[in-house]
Amino acid sequence: MYKSGYVYSDNFKLQYIVDGSGAPAIVVGSSLYYARTFSNSLRTKLRMAFIDHRGFAPSNNCKDIKKYQLDILVDDIELLRKELGFEKFIMIGHSGHAFMALEYAKKYPTNVTHLVMMCASPNYSDAAHSKSARDWEELVSPGRKAALAENLSRFPQEIAQAPEKAFVTRCLLMGPKSWFNYNYDAKNLWEGIEVNMTMFDYVWGEVFRDIDITKNLDKLKAPVFLALGRYDYLIPPAYLWENVREHFSNLTIRVFEQSGHAPHFEEPELFDQELLGWLSKIL
């Protein structure tokens, strides 16, 4: 069953799209983007609610970073949960949104049956990014490197033409770091999506840079499924999870060999199989 709507939180219009049937699941991020990237097959097993956070709220011109504190973003998820009428649900977060999903599961542990984190590094510190730069230099094919260099040569001009679309422009031009098929054009996935750059510059540039995901991890009750792409060069390396995995009481890691930053989109059949197998006890 499909439905869509929105709620207001502190004058931010947060859209949601609900599609599918089965166990309830909330995917935080852009309602439009993520509704386009998860398979229709998965919707036969899960009732998926794709919800905006404030960075994707349409017509959002707010430049006050105090409105984008992580705890506030987490409480917006709770507001939307109540609107959707989900009592207990699967919490899903991809990339930086995985941190939002994790922090929600810590703060509202009785609401979350399972936590799914996708394509996230345990931190985005300068040290972690330096390891990412080293891996890019040592492990990546010349063709992938050349594709990125060509894309980045267009970056200043495209940003100057549409500074309000800087986040989306960066995502598109960083395709060789994001996709197994490094020539993939993701433009259609981002069509019609608005982005508040103040929010993304602050949350991705400062909050996620400094986050300690092990803080309050003892409050997390849900088992965790972590999906990673072998060719994901957009985030710091997967092996950094070795430094924190012992802090999780129940962590399952799956690495998808023909994926970059989006295994749910790049290898949908295998992703669905792995995820649903992990969820089998509640389906």
The residues pairing with 8 across neighbouring beta strands, listed in sequence order, are 13
The residues assigned a catalytic role are 95, 232, 261
Q: Which amino acid is at 10?
A: D
Closest listed residue to residue 208, CA positions, set 125, 273, 276, 105: 125
3-state secondary structure the chain: CCEEEEEEECCEEEEEEEEECCEEEEEEECHHHHHHHCCCCHHHCEEEEEEECHHHCCCCCCCCHHHHCHHHHHHHHHHHHHHHCCCCEEEEEECCHHHHHHHHHHHCHHHEEEEEEECCCCCCCHHHHHHHHHHHHHHCCHHHHHHHHHHHHCHHHHHHHCHHHHHHHHHHHCHHHHCCCCCCCCHHHHCCCCCCHHHHHHHHHHHHHHCCCCCCHHHCCCCEEEEEECCCCCCCCHHHHHHCHHHCCCEEEEEECCCCCCHHHHCHHHHHHHHHHHCCCCC
